[in-house]
Every structure is written in structure tokens, then in C-alpha cells.
Amino acid sequence: MTTGSEFDRSITLIRELIEEEGELREGPDLGRLLGLLAGRRAADLSELPPRRQAALLGARAAQILPGVDRLAELLAEGRPLTVKFGIDPTGAEVHLGHAVPMILASRLQRMGHRVVFLVGDVTARIGDPSGRSTERPPLTAEDVHRNVATYREQVGPFFDFERAEFRFNSEWLEPLALPRFLGVLSRLPASAALQREDFRTRLADGSGLTLAELVYSVVMALDSVELGADVELGGLDQLLNLQMCRRVMAAEGRRPEVVLATGLIEGTDGTGAKMSKSKNNFVGLAFPAEEMFGRLMACADRLLPDYLRALTELLDEEVELLLAQVDDGRRHPMAVKTLLAAAVTATVHGAPAALAARDAFRARYSVRRFSEAGPLPSLDPAAHGAATLGELLVKVTGELPSLNQVRRVAEAGGLRLVIETTDGDRRTVPLARAAADDRLLVVLATHGLTRPDPARRLFLRCGRKVVELT
């Protein structure tokens, strides 16, 4: 692990590198920058003054309870703090939306504190009701343990598990006696749970609300009591649950934990919905390097500032410098997006894999002809001719997250057929918005492309996604 002085040195070196002329997406500069960021991820932050540590943490927190001054006081106590980060394993895949508080947890760990990665194998069976309009389908204990099987491996790039703990809340919640739980509930007003707007909305709409959901946050708070948490990390959508943790700790005679709530990561499609597997707008931590890099390169341009701040070790002033260079024309926007994709991919897979993914991406999308781009997703028109273009891109190949996304790209002029011939000719056929909902065979027949031709290769392009029609 490098020292705090090395962390300060990285600030100077990264700024000098960013201010150099040239594109960061080109070879050695990007490689150097990834090396400096790797060093920063490993830097020992325990030597930094408490106020500076608090600033590093606060820069990535959307809200701190009760405030940054209390956080600084806690960090100044000169003892290892217990940092709680919990996740309910309601699915088998962890994505970048979960990584934001993990990056904060890594910083706390490097400040010398004890991070407890808490798997909510009991609370997952209730299901976190935050922001939901309906009750979550219940999970069995078998579901939970199947989902968590790969969690440790997936989050490993963000934690040094040799210096962190991996716990299950069933350790103390399964043997919890009813009188003990009733004693906790008796000290809490019902209004503490019913102040939630999503609960009130569901009750007003008649959508249903179970008693288990009402007490979810209390059960979650018992984890904080059991662990003696000094700090808890979670998403901003968890804020009411995290406030309950502080309330229950106080009721139990404990000093309430400091809460660091991180902002929610928007999905890669730029529609405003948060990143989630169900919307296929996510980047999974288990993705291979090329897929991770490609999904980040395909993210909506307006997400670049938030992704740089939340998902990399770049400091705010470094992000602002990069964005200012884009604004005044000194640096190409694609160079900064390449830096984002490479930095995140390098965190999970290492710098060599990230640079190889960059090279593969450029080989595919920088060539003049798709025929030279290497293997592409493909489908047989004879087998899928009755499907619409939207269905092919969403349901058959999975290249786009939704039919609406295909329609939006088509409206912007990004849906087209590309015909390449063996003699080097290339022709592009723009398709209208209505073509997104037309059957493939109808579209091909309209343009005289139904008969196979060994001298021709045919591609369907939607934005940056390309599928070969074999």
C-alpha cells in the first residue's frame, strides 16, 4: 500500500497528465493515467488529517447525517471505526450502481477502519420496500444463499477482504427473541414508519402494505446495534431506513451512527431510470472486460460527469478540468468517455485488460467496414423474419434494453441497413421511425434485400449497436 504522501503526489502527476496535449484515449497517456489511479486506489489515507479525510468522503456522499462536522469529529477520535455496508441479495448480480458506496467503504478501509460487508440474508426475505409501489415477491433462504454465492468474488475489486469482514445478519436475527424485538418496537412511534411517502401512497392507492414491510427498517437497524456501527453507507433511496437505524441506536442507548448516503446511479440508457438489471441499463461487475468497456462507451453522453465522479478515483477538481477541456475544445469528448470506460474496467479487471478492451472496441467501431470488425452478433432472417426490428434488437439479440429505445434511436435517424459487397462497395439505407415496428422480412422486401447474395453482407445498425443478418 502506498502512503498518504504518494496520494498527494498522484494529485500533482494526474493534473500534469491531464494538462498535457494529446488525447487520453491514445496508448501511453491512458496507460500512465490508469497506473496512477491504481496507485491512488491503494494509497494509505490514514495519515491525512481528519478534516481532509472527511472531505474525501463527503465529496462522494449526497447527504451526511448528522453532518460533515460530526463525521470529522468521529474520524479525529484516533480509533478504528466500524463501518457497515449492507446489501440484500435479491438478485445474483452486483452492478456499478452498488459500487458507489463500496468505493467510499474502500476509502474508509484505507483510512484504517474496519469495514463490515453485511449480507442481509434475513432482511432480503422481507424485501426492502423503499420506493416500491407493490410488495416484493418473498425470497426463500435457498434463493438468498444462491444469489450471494458469487457476491464476494464480484465485490472483491473494491475491498481487501483480508482486512474486512463478510457477515450475514442471520447470525443475530434468526435467534432474536420476540420479547426483545417487541421491546425495541415499543420505544418507536408508528409515525416513524408511516412518515414514508411511498407507504402513504400505497395505502391510498389500495396497493397493499404488509406489517413485515413496515418493520423492515427496524430490523435493518438491529444490524447496526449488533455491529456497534460508527458509520453506515447506503444509497440515497435508503435514507429513511438509515434514519431509522440512527433512531433505534439512540433508543437502545447507543451513540447513533454517522450516515453517508450516496446518490443513485442512473442507467446507461439515459432515460432517467436508476441502474437496474430489470431495465437492462446496467453494467454488471461480473461482465467480461470487453462487455464492461463497451457498455460504458455506449452510455448517454450527459451521464459522463456523474459517472466520472461516482465510479472513478478522480477527484472533483480533476473531473472539472477534463470537462472544461471538452467544453473549450481542447479534448475530444470521446477521449474522456474512453478514460471513464478504461478506469472502471481497470478497477475490476486490471489495466492490461482495460487497454485490451479499448483496443478491441476501437478495432470494431473505428473500421470503415463492419465486415472487417471481427465477430458481431448475428441472426438468420429466415428464422426471425416475422419479428419486428425492435423485437430483434431487444428480445432476440438483447443489444438494446427496450422497444422504446429502438424507436427513439430510429426517430433520431440512427436506425439503418448497411450493405457491404465483396468488391468494396458500401451502401447505407436510413430507416424511418415506423420501421422499428415493421417485420424484418417486410423491411428487407421494401429494399429488395430478401434474396441471399454470396457477394453481399447485410447489417442492421441501431445507434452504436450492429447486428449482422446472415
Which whole number is the average pLDDT over 235-248?
A: 91
- Banded pLDDT at 26 (limits 50, 70, 90): low
Predicted pLDDT at 309: 93
* C-alpha 2: how far from chain center: 27
User: Is the pLDDT score of 373 beyond 80?
Assistant: no
pLDDT, residue 414, reads 82
Residue 215 and residue 194: Cα distance in Å, rounded?
10
As a whole number of angstroms, the distance between CA 414 and CA 284 comes to 26
Instruction: Say if residue 415's pLDDT is above 80.
Output: yes
290-333 tens-digit pLDDT: 999 999 998 888 899 999 999 999 999 999 999 998 888 888 88
Centre a 10 Å sphere on the Cβ of residue 48 and count the other Cβ atoms it contains.
20
Give residue-wise pLDDT tens across range 124-180.
776 555 544 445 566 777 777 777 777 777 888 877 777 788 888 999 999 999 999
Summarize pLDDT for 29-56 with one digit per residue, the tens: 889 999 999 999 989 999 999 999 999 9
pLDDT score recorded for residue 133: 44
| Residue type at position 17 | L
Which structural domains are found in the chain, ordered by start? Answer: 63-262 (3.40.50.620), 289-372 (1.10.240.10), 378-469 (no CATH)
CA distance 275 to 279: 8
Asked if the model's pLDDT at residue 19 lies above 90, the reply is: no
Would you call the peptide bond into 138 cis, given omega within 30 degrees of 0 as the criterion? no
Lowest mean pLDDT among 128-142, 238-252, 326-340, 381-395: 128-142
